[in-house]
Structure 1
Amino acid sequence: MKPSWKFIAMFAISAALSGCDTCSNEVVQTVLSPSGQRKAIVFNRNCGATVGFNTQLSIIPAHDDLPPDSGNTLVLDGTIPLRMKWQSDSDLTVLWSGSAKIFEQQRSVGDVSVTYRD
C-alpha cells in the first residue's frame, strides 16, 4: 500500500517545522568564577513578536560556548539589568532592582549555589 500524498506532505511540514528555532540569544555580560573554571552569562533571549525579550542567566564551564537554549539558572520577563558576583567557585550572587516576573529561578546549578538579592 502506497502512502497518500497528504500523509507525505503532512510529514514533510512537521519535520520542517520541528527543526525551526526562531529564538536568538544576545550575550549581555559574562563573569568568570574566581578560578576561571566557570562563567555566568547574562543574555537576552528573543523568540519572536508573540513572546518578546526576556533576560536569562546560565552557568556553564568557562571553555563552553553559550548553548542556543534557554538559561539554566534564571529567566525573567523583559530586559532586566543583572549584577553578578562570584563569592567563590561554588557560590554566585545575582542582584537586580525593581520587580520582574520570574519564570525560572534555580537555587543551584550543578555544584554552584545561587543567591538572589534585590
Structure 2
Amino acid sequence: MIKTSISVIILFSIVTALVFLYFAEDLAEGLCENKIYETYLSPDQSLKAVTFQRDCGGTDGATTQISILDASQSLENRAGNVFVVAGAPKHQAPDITWNSDQEVTVHYQTDGSEIKAETHWGAKIPLKINYQ
C-alpha cells in the first residue's frame, strides 16, 4: 500500500514536471517582444529575410535577429532562426542581399561573439547563408 502511494506520487511528479517543461518555452516566449526592422524578399518572392529587434526585458537588453520565412508567413513571437547578435538593430542590423533564390548574404563580419549565425536554413530546398 505504501509502495503504491509512493509510486503514484513519483509518477504524478514526473508528469507534472514534463507538462511544465513542455509549456515553459511558450511561457518564456510570451515575455518577449519582436519589432520588425526590415524585410527582404527573395528574387522569386517565395521567401523573405526579416531583421527584427527582440526584447525580453530585464537585464538582457535588446538583440538584433534574423529569421528566414516563407513570404506569406508572419513573424511569430519567437527567436530568430538564422542570426542573433546582442544590441538593437539601429546599431547592429546588417543589410541583406539575396544572391539567388537559394543563397543570401548577411552583410555582417562574424567574429564569434554572435549568439547564432547559421550557414544553412531549410530542409526541402536548403538556403545557403553567407556572412561578409
TM-score (norm. length: structure 1): 0.79
Instruction: Specify which of 51, 62, 76 is matched with residue 53 of structure 1.
Output: 62
Gaps of 5+ in 1: 2-10
| Runs of at least 4 residues off by over 2 Å | 17-20, 96-101
More helix by share: 2
Q: Counterpart of 2:76 in 1: which secondary structure? A: coil
User: Is it true that 1:112 corresponds to 2:127 in the alignment?
Assistant: yes
Gaps of 5+ in 2: 6-15
How many Å separate the matches in 2 of 1:22 and 1:38? 28
Note the 1:86-101 alignment, pairs <5 A.
86-96=98-108, 101=113
Identity of aligned residues (%): 30
Contact 1:26/1:44 (<8 A) preserved: yes
More strand by share: 1
Q: Counterpart of 2:45 in 1: which secondary structure? A: coil
Contact 1:77/1:100 (<8 A) preserved: no
RMSD, aligned CA: 2.4
Q: Which residue of 2 aligns with 1:66?
A: 75
How many Å separate the matches in 1 of 2:76 and 2:93? 21
Deviation by residue 1:50-105 (Cα, 9 ceiling, x = unmatched): 21100000001000001211000000011212100000010000013697830011
For the pair shown, the structure with the greater C-alpha radius of gyration is 2
Aligned residues: 105
